[in-house]
Amino acid sequence: MTQTKKDIRTLTKEQLRAFFVEQGDKPFRGNQVYEWLWQKSAHNFEDMTSISKQTRQMLDDNFVINHIEVDNMQRSSDGTIKNAVRLHDGLIVESVLIPTKTRTTACVSSQVGCSLDCKFCATSRLKRMRNLNPDEIYDQVVAIDKESRLYHNRPLSNIVFMGMGEPLMNYNNVLKAIDKITSPEGLGMSPKRIVVSTSGVPKMIRKLADDEVKFNLAVSLHSAIQEKREKIMPFAKQFTLTDLKDSLIYWYEKTNKRITYEYVVWKGINDKDEDIKALIEFCKAAPSKVNLIEYNPIDDGEFQQADDDAIDRYITGLEANRIPVTIRRSRGKDIDAACGQLANKS
Ligand code: SF4
């Protein structure tokens, strides 16, 4: 019978140290291997050149290092890069590098497929197969950082959890990955440069606040009218706007961090004055800003980007109420890398 070897990256540093003590070695050896696994992103024990050959062999006899492979990389004319990422079990997710003048942002996936059903989103058509492990999330960031250095001559500056999946439905693994990304023993990135974007799971937003996380929170809102939001994002029947609003007030009270609302304006769906009024009221609950996102149709035509006039009315209304608003132009449209377009088509 073949015995499956354990993925060494599921071990904490303490567990690795204990493993080496059990082997009659020094605990310090665990630190060295940990550094190779995370800071140096070694994919083979062979690569751990500061460790003796005998020890590397012993590790190889006991463990594997599961890691991702970038299966297909596509580059957009605007510099955006989309990676189709193959996981150790052959499943595929996508992650995107978005360069602007001042920053390079990694948009990473947290699940294979998605358990939610947002009507406008290509990923919702893929069945949720499984959650990503912390190392699979971490590896996406490492791969994009390498591409950023190679193609844009600068390291990655920001990360958004806005790829495939609902990050708060994979809470523990997303938080473990962020721990590694922000740790000096990992990538050492500031949590201030990380945004976790949720479709709005109130219970988990409260948990984030209780866990005193240091990263930023964005919510894909798209409508502040309950019946409309249910049509756009059917799971909103379960996670109501009232409950969502309460959880966001709780988030702000605990973290003192302003919330970003991601918001797409669609023609005939949420482009009326009543929609703008409802959004303004919702925003008043806790300090927030609104990111109006340009929409990329995913093919069947039900959702279409609203006219400029509707966008202008949103901006005027929000600004009149001193609610900061920005417009995010979509990037990477020619390679289906824009928001809501990730669907393993490559
Ligand atoms: S928008 Fe996000 S939460 Fe909604 S279906 Fe798509 S991936 Fe899932």
- The 10s digit of each residue's pLDDT in 277-313 is 999 999 999 999 999 998 877 766 788 889 999 999 9
DSSP string, 127-153: PP-EEPPHHHHHHHHHHHHHHHHHHHS
pLDDT at 124 over 70: yes
Over range 218-231, report the average pLDDT: 97
Over range 20-49, report the average pLDDT: 96
Please say if 339 is a catalytic residue: yes
Q: Is the CB of 199 under 6 A from ligand 1?
A: yes
> Which backbone phi and psi does 262 adopt, to 5 degrees?
-85, 135
pLDDT at 1 over 60: no
% the chain with pLDDT above 90: 84
Over range 242-255, report the average pLDDT: 98
Q: Which of 93, 114, 264 to mutate to test the pocket of ligand 1 (most atoms within 8 A of CB)?
A: 114
Q: Which atom of ligand 1 is nearest to the CA of 122?
A: 6
Cα-to-centroid distance, 123 and ligand 1 (Å)? 6
Query: C-alpha distances in angstroms, 51 versus 15, 21, 45, 46, 115?
Result: 18, 15, 9, 9, 42
Residue whose tokens read 């948009």? 107
Cα-to-centroid distance, 296 and ligand 1 (Å)? 14
* The pLDDT of residue 125: 80
- The CA distance from 156 to 144, in Å, is 7
**Residue 283: closest CA among 232, 223, 195, 196:** 223
Cα-to-centroid distance, 59 and ligand 1 (Å)? 39
- Coil, helix or strand for 75? strand
Q: Which of 166, 197, 204, 239 to mutate to test the pocket of ligand 1 (most atoms within 8 A of CB)?
A: 166
Beta pairing class for 104-107 and 259-263: unpaired
Cα-to-centroid distance, 307 and ligand 1 (Å)? 24
- The CA distance from 225 to 229, in Å, is 6
Can you count the helices (H) and strands (E) in the chain? 10, 14
- Coil, helix or strand for 341? coil
Q: Which of 119, 124, 298 to mutate to test the pocket of ligand 1 (most atoms within 8 A of CB)?
A: 124
The structure's pTM equals 0.93
Cα-to-centroid distance, 338 and ligand 1 (Å)? 13
pLDDT at 132 over 80: yes
Q: Which atom of ligand 1 is nearest to the CA of 114?
A: 8
Q: Is the CB of 169 under 6 A from ligand 1?
A: no
Count, residues in the chain: 346
* The pLDDT of residue 214: 97
Residue whose tokens read 């499984």? 130
Ligand 1 atom 3: the closest Cα is on which residue?
A: 166
Q: In the structure, what pLDDT confidence band is assigned to residue 335 with cuts at 50, 70 and 90? A: low
